[in-house]
Amino acid sequence: MTRYDVIVVGGGPAGLAFARSLAGTGLKLALVERQPRTVLAEPGCDGREIALTHRSEASLKALGAWQAIDPAETSPLREARVLNAGSPFALAFDTGGTGEDRLGQLVPNHLIRRALFAVTHAQPGVDLLAGTAVSSARASREGAVAELADGRRLEARLLVAADSRFSAVREQLGIAAEVNRTGRAMMVCRVAHERDHEGIATEWFDYGQTIAMLPLRGRMSSAVLTLDAAGIEALAALDAERWGPRSPGASSRGWGG
């Protein structure tokens, strides 16, 4: 049995940010993640661009993670427009005379993960237990106990389940959650275009399908298409020729449900 003040299960952005927020408190933390350390240090690109508000950027700065993200990899989000099917009207969002030149920043998800890991993994008081999963967990008024797949047994005053929205730890602790499965899936890809997007994000909603165009640096956007799962499966199966000519950096980045 190894004793800690806090056990954090999950080395994604939520778990890493929480562990980082406890820096300087003197607390002893165990950070448990099933993925190997090498993947945490250099996460693969999953195609997702995360829209960060000014407050989110400030939070990452306070954690020391924002400084680890290359500014050349971020894209300013100046405005956003939401369209509804065939309606000629749009719901527009801008800075509204706040004096800001943007609503926020678009940052690749894998760079946020990499930056948070860079500032957290060697943090004093943090034991990173990577490459192993939690096989069982229980909690009571006296504290929490987590047994790992490699045989180790951890005890702490607090157990934090940050192992995704489908948290296995949450289920083991009997914490109820309602999951609404819509039968939809998404495809994400980067596309090049001739006209300037001017830093404006456009989202179009229709019955059965949606598409968002998120402005990236240069004349490039991240296209996010939502269809029924079968429709996305069919698109993902198309060969390169069916997608047309590709510019450097405009290739498909991936898809997922």
Last-in-domain residue among 172, 191, 220: 172
According to DSSP, the residues that pair with 209 across neighbouring strands are 206
pLDDT at 168: 93
Contact 253, 189 (CB under 8 A): yes
pLDDT band at 39 (very low <50, low <70, confident <90, very high): very high
- 135 and 224: one domain? no
* Structure token pair of residue 31: 């950070």
Are 161 and 193 within one domain? no
Tell whether 167 and 188 lie within a shared domain. no
Q: What is the domain extent for residue 224?
A: 182-256
Q: Note the pLDDT tens digit of each residue in 50-92.
A: 999 999 999 999 999 999 999 999 999 999 999 999 898 999 9
The pLDDT tens digits of the residues spanning 235-254 come to 989 887 777 665 444 444 44
Q: Which H, E and C letters describe 40-107, residue by residue?
A: HHCCCCCCCEEEEEHHHHHHHHHHCCHHHCCHHHCEEECEEEEEECCCCCEEEECCCCCCCCCCEEEE
Same domain, yes or no: 238 and 124: no
In the chain, the number of structural domains is 2
